[in-house]
A and B are shown apart, each in its own frame.
Chain A
Amino acid sequence: MNGNDGSKMKDSKWVRDFEKSNDKLVLRFLKANGVRYLFGFLFFAAVNLLQVVTPRLTGDIIDELYKQNPDLSLIAKFAIVIFALSIVIMGLQFLGRLTVLGAGTLFDVLMRRKLFRKLLTLSMNFFHKKSIGDIMALSVNDLNAVNRAIGHGAMMVSNTIILAVVSIVAMGETMSYKLTLMIFIPLPLLVFTMYKFGMVINRKFRKVQDRFGELSGKVQENIAGIRVVKSFVREESEQKSFEKVNRANYDAEVEMALVNGLFMPLISFISSFCYLILIYFGGRSVIVDQSISIGDFVAATSYITLLIRPMQMLGRLLGMVQRGKASMGRIYDLFEEKPDIVDHKFNQNDVDIKDNKLKGKIEFKKLNFAYNEKNGDVLKDINLVINPGETVAFMGTVGSGKSTVSNLLIRLFDTPERGQLLIDDMDIADIPLKTLRGNIGYIPQDNFLFSDTIRYNIGFSPDEMNDEQIEEAAKTSDIYDTIMDLPDQWETMLGEKGVNLSGGQKQRMCIARAVAKNAPIMIFDDCLSAVDMETESRILKSLKDVQSKRTCIIIAHRISTVKDSDKIVVLHKGRVAEVGTHEELLEKQGYYYKSYRIQLLEQQYGVGLKDAKGEKK
């Protein structure tokens, strides 16, 4: 309980094998944990064997009472044994649950780890098509279902089988097998009913789940589109269509209630026939041919109770296993996803990169790119050479393809044979991913930070980073003073659990993170938009040193951000519309010139970012 028990598990060999394999996981797990399950099985077998003793003893006591001179001390001994047995049973029961249910939990923890590890390898295309909700459902609901099947399910299987055998044998030994079999005549009917019912219940259950999914889907969509609904006064028809799916959900629930309501009472009803047979035929045996004693009769009533409980569980067990199987199927689906962006193995050896360091030359050769075909090409026929140490800015309207440039450079997407993107004269796809990304300091548009400490967020690197590097990066990004003003300084938690930084502070934090990486290529993906002009110029000034040594790609809207770049590229509808320095482009009187004038105008009329906030709602 104390410390990390879970971490101990992962050191054994089978766990490592398990982590590597992607198929027959349940089987592999059961095999590797065979001994464990065997022990669990033995524990439960012992529990069940002992459980049968109590009714037997009770019967013997009753028999003793019918004797001429009942021996009270013997009865006392029996009573003590009954109590002592329960303590032993408690111990065994505990061990059994711990081994078997623990196995389910272990499977759960291993699978979740695999799941997350898989997610880490998948490419952006996957995350665009799968919602976070779907992924979370896999990790929570589906894994839980599998866990239950493999833990509780296994426990119930062993309990049912053992108890059935033990109690039938015990009863057969005390009475006669003929009477025992007679009493258990209703059992096959019971099992059959349960099996059939189990299937129906599962079907109904799935229907309820589907309907519930539709219900929440409807609400989800309605709320997401509520502004349209309200604008078009469609509240009433939305209400009607919601009531329809709500009703369908209700109907499914009622159907479920019907079979559910029938299930348990039916089971007890069928099992009451066991008692009927026992009372009449058993009772007759006691008095007519006296083949069984009255104590046997009493013991038999307890045996029936003992046996019927696990039988009732069978139905639930079936559902559990089926649900577990369906969930496992969904998990396998995820495991079968192939990442789009991978290292091409055969090329890896051809590429010789010294110390995994790139120089930072970037070349676009007749590059075309589309995210998906129906929306057309986002980049069209891009030709551009960026030399090591150069700073190149990309400008353009929304949708002009600016951000695509950065997505391609960090290879979040591949450029399949429609022109080339070269880095250090190598095709980008031939550079090992680790090397490529290790050589790029990337600052994203959405200034994403993790809910962890500031130190963690800036020193965000697979290699250890020392404090000076982190501090240096913070200073360069003009965030050092802000950090120092926080009560916990470097240890300040960010995000949900800690302080919430302003947009500008977050952007500077992201810049620091990339700067700390000390990479030959820097990409600023529209990342200075939320800082005011003064801060921007301060940051740009301190970045100057950094920039002069590295290849810098700056994607921006603001003239002030890009004007000092060696080269400014204006993209328009995916094409390069203008290229040149600030002065050259102003002379051209094209798009760049217009932007320049608009931004001057904005300054003149005082519409800055401060005023824009109100409307950003």
Chain B
Amino acid sequence: MNQTKYMKMSKDNKDKKVKLNKDSFKNIIRFALPYWPWFVLAFALIICISVADILQPLIIKFAIDDNISLALVNEMTIDEATKNLGMLALVYVGLALIHFLFGFVQEYTLQKTGSRIIMEMRNKMFDHVQRLPFSYFDKTPVGTIVTRICNDTSAISEFYTGVLINFFNDIFIMVGILITMFIMDVRLTLLTIAVLPLIAFASITFRLKARKAFHRIRTKLAAINAFISEHVSGMKIIQAFNMEKKKDEEFAEINNDYYDANMSRIKIFGIFRPFMDVVKSFSLALVIYIGAKQVIGTSLEVGVLYLFIRYIGNFFQPIMNLTEMFNTTQSAVVAADRISSVFDTKPESDHEIREPLLTPENCRGRIEFDHVWFAYIDEIWVLKDVSFTVEPGESIAIVGMTGAGKTSIINLLCGFYEIQKGSIRIDGVDIKDMTKQELRHLVGMVRQDVFMFSGSVLHNITLDNDNITLEQAQEAAIMTNADDFIRELPGQYDYQLNEGGSVLSEGQRQLISFARAIVTNPKILVLDEATSNIDSETERLIQDALVKLMQNRTSISIAHRLSTIQNSDKIIVLNNGRIMEQGSHDQLFEMRGLYYDLYRLQFE
């Protein structure tokens, strides 16, 4: 019955030993604190319900002892007894009504509050994740982050709705029944409690067994998941090596393991539940016998005996519930642990929000790299002492071989990573003194791998920026030669792209990404040219668009096209993280250095 939950968990949880971390538990409570009035309300309601539940069997006891019994021995007139019975029946339904109304409000309040907390937790997490540095995304798989934000929070929600209040409820019911029983008859109560150690022992044993069984199921399921996921990725190899049959047999083996694990769980549960009934029946038989003896000795009313028979059933349920809550709590704590680890990751270093020093309007677009040293990891320098200046409106092209550090330069200019030494300045302002947002507003970027969001074409150009009108988006698309093919799509700018935008060709997606970069009219443009294979017609459109893109802007491009180089004012030749040569095409060509060689080989 908790299976789906376990399935969900198993993906990440695998075999990690579960530690009950106090701090994580505190975290769970911390998220709920602002909502304490709602929890108090739910608690108050649940107390009322419990009282009503405890009272219901009492009504029937009164019916038996104070009316039916009395009427039978003619100590009460039939009319009076009937009248009383009618009253009691109505009170019974009245109590049921209270249960119904309060029960509904309680359940609804609790669920709603739980959902509310989770919604806010997710909002906070999403917001936090948005501000995490690139290095975090470099090392954390997408799926993991999705699990953190979506699934782990759900596990905590189950704690709020299933444990937090019900824990007190169950305790309350137990205590309530116990008190009522004590008031009714001390001896029978003690008899009933006599089996408690047995129940506790059975529950704990069962929990341990069940936990082991669940753990085994989780492990086997994780093995199945890992197997399927690995073999779907490696299907090409399996088929190329004619290994279908063997793989089928291998899978059957771990699949059978999973079957065995499931069967042993069924067995454990199949014994436990009925066993609790046996204990209950034992207690019942005991109470009936001793109770009957007392009734015969006239020290006990029959109704009280009835009451005990009913209570025994109600008394055992909370105990079983309590042991089950342990599991939910555990999952919640694990989830909270993971969530905390996300919140503990430091966001991109940022300044307080203040009036920006530079805006796209007042920025002139002068870029300086001043003795920049940069490494992704420790001291493996990717850029070494790089210095250059780009004047407003200038276009520069960066050329160099693979691994020379070209992409790093534009990553740094956008503030995706922090440099270790030196400084990068725009219009004389060190980018360290700007907020990331401020910096990135100044720079338009075209990446090598074009990412398309699911949504309309328009959405992919404006990226949901409300300040951009349809006209502006169209203008940008016209400028980048994207307008023509967009107009041929059904629905044109409203045409819905599915994930990855796979209906568009590579070249078309690049054109859209150009439009996306210039629609906000940034003063600085950085461009990482894609090298993919594009048909000559689209290639012509791209080259034409590139020229227009660079007009009236400071631009830095990682050039793979001859045309891009030809349109640049200055060329920087990068090798092994150092600038080898810089200057105009003619100057560099005359130097007969690395550029000369590269140029002749790549572009001639």
Contacts and interface: CB of A to CB of B under 8 A. Distances in A.
B22 to A, nearest CB: 29
B476 interface: no
A274 B246 CA distance: 61
Contacts of A573: 533
Interface stretch (A165-173, A294-302, A482-490, A540-548): A294-302
Contact of A75 (B129, B259, B289): B289
A592 to B, nearest CB: 12
B575 interface: yes
Nearest to A87: B278
Given A4-B256, A85-B281, A437-B240, 19 more contacts: A80-B285, A87-B278, A102-B266, A132-B229, A140-B7, A219-B126, A232-B445, A238-B464, A257-B108, A257-B111, A261-B107, A283-B67, A294-B72, A442-B240, A594-B601, A598-B598, A607-B575, A613-B380, A615-B406
Contact of B445 (A133, A231, A246): A231
A442 B533 CA distance: 25
A-B residue pairs, 9 tightest by C-beta: A399-B533, A6-B256, A612-B403, A272-B96, A257-B111, A86-B281, A265-B103, A261-B107, A90-B274
A148 B263 CA distance: 14
Interface string B369-404: 000000111001110000000000000000001111
A505 interface: no
Nearest to A608: B403
A258 interface: yes
Contacts of B100: 265-266, 268-269
A113 B63 CA distance: 60
9 contacts: A6-B258, A89-B277, A94-B267, A140-B221, A227-B447, A241-B464, A268-B99, A400-B533, A601-B594
Interface string A257-286: 110111011101100110111011001101
A139 B142 CA distance: 21
Interface residues of B, number: 172
A237 B465 contact: yes
Interface string B230-256: 111111111111111111100111011
B474 to A, nearest CB: 18
Contacts of A444: 236-237, 240
Interface stretch (A20-28, A104-112, A193-201, A328-336): A104-112
B596 to A, nearest CB: 11
Nearest to A597: B601
Given A98-B266, A374-B503, A594-B601, A120 B60 contact: no
A556 interface: no
A133 B146 CA distance: 12
Interface stretch (B81-89, B169-177, B540-548): B81-89
Nearest to B465: A237
Interface in B135-153: 137-138, 142-143, 145-146, 149-151
Contact of A223 (B112, B119, B137, B245): B137
Given A61-B288, A219-B146, A221-B454, A257 B112 contact: yes
A366 interface: no
Interface in A1-59: 1, 4-7, 9-10, 54, 58
A239 interface: yes
Contacts of A495: 230
A82 B313 CA distance: 14
B505 A375 contact: yes
Interface string B525-560: 000000111010000000000000000000000000
B96 A113 contact: no
Contacts of A412: 236, 239-240
Given A227-B447, A234-B463, A283-B68, A219 B306 contact: no
B505 A226 contact: no
B221 A615 contact: no
B584 interface: no
B96 A268 contact: yes
A462 interface: yes
B278 A269 contact: no
A188 interface: no
A294 B302 contact: yes
Given A233-B441, A257-B115, A265-B103, A615 B382 contact: yes
A229 to B, nearest CB: 7
B281 A54 contact: yes
A120 B577 CA distance: 47
A7 B556 CA distance: 64
B432 interface: no
Contacts of B436: 230, 233
Contact of B72 (A86, A258, A287): A287
A503 interface: no
Interface string B103-139: 1111110011001101100110011011100100110
A136 B225 contact: yes
Contact of A611 (B145, B241, B255, B403): B403
A132 B233 CA distance: 8
B47 interface: no
Contacts of B445: 231-232
Interface string B267-291: 1011101110110111011101100
B242 A106 contact: no
B78 interface: yes
Interface in A169-226: 212, 215-217, 219-226
A287 B242 contact: no
Nearest to A69: B296
A169 to B, nearest CB: 22
B112 A227 contact: no
Contacts of A257: 107-108, 111-112, 115
Interface stretch (A248-256, A346-354, A382-390, A473-481): A248-256
A598 B282 contact: no
Nearest to A595: B601
A101 interface: yes
Nearest to A128: B502
A607 B145 contact: no
A617 B151 CA distance: 28
Interface in A351-372: none
Contacts of A574: 533
Q: Which of B285, B447, B463 has the most CB atoms of chain A within a 10 A radius of its CB?
A: B285
A1 B239 contact: no
A434 B246 CA distance: 14
B302 A79 contact: no
Contacts of B228: 116, 119, 135-136, 139
B232 A127 contact: yes
Nearest to B289: A79
A54 B235 CA distance: 59
A83 B282 contact: yes
B531 A226 contact: no
Given A223-B142, A225-B451, A265 B266 contact: no
B130 A235 contact: yes
A500 interface: no
A434 B245 CA distance: 11
B81 A287 contact: yes
